Structure 1
Amino acid sequence: RIINSGLSKKQKDRETVYCKECNKTLSFRYYVAVHAYTHTGNVPFKCQQCDKCYPKESLLRKHIRSHFQTRDFACDECGKAFFKKQQLQYHKASKHSEERPHRCNVCDKAFKVPSALWKHTLIHVNDKKYVCEICGKGFVEMVGLTKHKITHTTEKNFVCTTCGKAFMRKRTLGWHLKKHLEDKPYICSYCGKRFHCTTILKNHILIHTGAKPFACEICGKTFRQRSCIGRHMRIHTGETPYPCKICSSSFKYSHHLLNHMKVHEKEPIQEPEIEIKTSMDE
């Protein structure tokens, strides 16, 4: 249910609204309609190709056309192509530009694109009712808390092939790899790849020789690195140390939990009540 206050259509479309079911704040009526269905589960118009949902048939038809359009706008930096020029402009601003022209008027933090600024402002207007019991950091939504709690785990699946250092996130590994753009005097005799220490070179050579010196004591499966055995053992023990805080599911690996959380971003719960806040209410 959406409560309004007799504003013009243009004003209503741009009024700040929030969902009373989960306290999520949205800035446009279209976002409200789409968000409401994440609670009700009564999604009338769903794309059969990608499962995206829409509150109106006209919006679904518009979306379906995107599956048959050609991507005529290509990025000259990375080659990724888009349907619309605006999508290309957004991509270049968010991925290939260092400029941050969009600044928060509360904390002065700057962002590359307007949508990132809008998402950031939610931390200033919403109560953070989901709190991490480990470090006390608060989050507006349970999904954010669950993703954050993974940072407190010890599992690091993204390993630097140069020095062996492991990270919990692929993005962090990417930042780390930039540090290795320096002299690497140790050269692989098989492929010519260079390394900055002999230990990492020896581990790399195992890829060419096929040697896997570390074996599982239960099934005999072998691995190139000792750290892989610990993760492999969960297949035998059934251990699932990464539980979902929203449902009863649990997972062997942190990246499986992250993929699972995407399901809850549009999972039906119950019909929400959404109220539009206006200056007239103040």
Structure 2
Amino acid sequence: MRVKQSVTSALNACLPIGPSPDFVTEKQVKSVSCSKCSELFYSDASIIEDTTQSLCQDIDKFDSMSNNCQSCMKTLNHIQRNKRPHKCSICNKAFSLTSELKIHRRTHVREKPFICSVCEKAFAKRTTLKRHQRIHTGEKPFKCAVCSKGFASLLNLHEHQIIHKGEKLHKCSVCNKAFALLSVLIMHQRLHTGEKPFTCSVCHKAFAQRKTLKTHECVHTEEHPYKCYVCSKSFVRSSGLKIHQKIRTGEKPHKCPVCHQAFVFPSGLKMHQIIHTGEKPYQCSVCNKTFARLANLHGHKRTHTGEKPFKCSLCPKAFTQSNHLKKHQRTHNGEKPHKCSGCSKAFEFLSDLNRHQRLHTGEKPYECSTCNKVFASSSALNSHKKIHTRPHKCCVCKRAFAFLSEIETHQKIHTGEKRFDCSVCRKAFTHKAALNNHQRIHTLQVFCVSEGLHSQNNVK
């Protein structure tokens, strides 16, 4: 009787909880005895009768201690997984265990009983919650035996280990580029096909990757799911949290061999090295302008389309790039989180702080490859390089200029345009500098007149 009760309670534990018992059909459970120790274990009676009889001709040959059949050494779990007796009444998908069906059922009813205590995000599976919580704790329990790199999930470790094997079995049929993982090849092929299967339910914008869609959806929900467990600052992307955590520790292990500037991530170093090489591999298909970074190209393309997807929640202003929105939002809250250790001056962005600190150190890491002149910022170097290249040419006289403002001023000579009028004599000038020089004539006349009157008064 005690055995029968334990079987019933075990069954009840596996059955789904809820008002819809039709999701699972209860199976008859049968006890099987081990011939060596007489220990009982339980399984689906139909599996025992169908499988064990044909394999061993005797249901008395299963060892409960190892769960192995003494004749064929097949486990009950293996036998049961080949059989899938538990079917979902909605989609007819079959499962080996009632517990698997119970978890699957949640996909239909959208039940998510497991809630993260940090960010309150909900999950259908306990294992998914545990994996998610590692984002907050930073725990990476799965270590690579070759390079000791840590990973939050076993799947990520398996994917990483393929890198060490050097195998790239999956080739793109268009460009012959090879990949270690089939999933990466599928994502890559969407660059050629233009396929974007993941659509936002709010604004119907389409994306090539699911993770890109999830990040985009945070724009609508204003959700910041990735929180720092030290300072509670939250981020839209996990990469943002990783960068933040390394900034807190001050760790910058990746150094540039040219200028010795250090970076938190290898990707940051890679992007930085383009400054030294001058490489700009990303070209706009509309105006042929080239960019060092793909993100900059995407932001630039919106200047042609007029798209401004990043909207401020406090005012009607919208922006083409997310970093422009972040910069703008600080005008509302006045936040300046980055402080200089030398003079305590505060800045909105880390890049501004780094540039400012070079005033104290005198560091000039950016060198011109033509004349070897050095600069404190990449923008100053890029501006200087135009002196050598003079990219802006006059279409009338073919004269070349370093800056766009210079050619715009020069072209007024050909057009005869004189926008700058003197407020005293109404004489017009092409350049503002010429107007300023002219106005000194009037101020000098006034000064001379006033001085002359003053002298006459003294004579009297």
TM over 0.5: no
Larger Rg: 2
State TM-score, norm by structure 1: 0.41
TM-score, normalised with respect to structure 2: 0.28
User: Which structure is richer in relative contact order (CA contacts within 8 A, separation 6 or more)?
Assistant: 1
Q: By percentage of residues, which structure has more helix?
A: 2
